[in-house]
Amino acid sequence: MKNNPVGWFEIYVQDLGRAKRFYERVFKTDLTPLETPVPGIEMLTFPMERDVCGAPGALVRMADGPGGGNAVLVYFNCEDCAAEESRVAEEGGKVEKPKMSIGEYGFISLVRDSEGNMIGLHSME
């Protein structure tokens, strides 16, 4: 079986409750705790299923861990990225680049989450 280039993503945060609220409300989804054998690390996973497109991932909080302003850019698949973009500011984030065309590859928006991390929103419409 061939794999997608991205197998997992982690978004490091300082305030896990605030970040959970941001992602759940912007993407209309539920994040669930993920057990970890490493003391001091808390993880909340995005919904994930085997044998479907896309990469699984989690929000991660750890003492003295990084959060906000990192150089990792994760693009979330959306039906119409304008819908998710419209919920960003009310959840404590910021729209950096509103929905724009990327030609035959669809549309993207660039936003900052409630922790200051830049994320991308991608849709074909």
Summarised one tens digit per residue, pLDDT across range 98-110 is 999 999 989 999 9
Cα separation of 119 and 73, whole Å?
Answer: 5
Instruction: Note whether 119 and 73 are within 8 A (CB).
Output: yes
This prediction has a pTM of: 0.80
Q: What sections of the chain are H helices per DSSP?
A: 16-27, 81-88
- Better-scored residue on pLDDT, 70 or 95: 95
Task: Please state, in angstroms and rounded to a whole number, the distance separating the CA atoms of residues 80 and 77.
Answer: 9
pLDDT exceeds 80 at position 86: yes
Q: Among 23-32, 44-53, 83-92, whose mean pLDDT is lowest? A: 44-53
- Answer whether residue 38 shows pLDDT above 90: no
Over residues 64-70, mean pLDDT: 70
Dist. CA 67–CA 44, nearest whole Å: 15
What structural domains and CATH numbers belong to the chain? 9-123 (3.10.180.10)
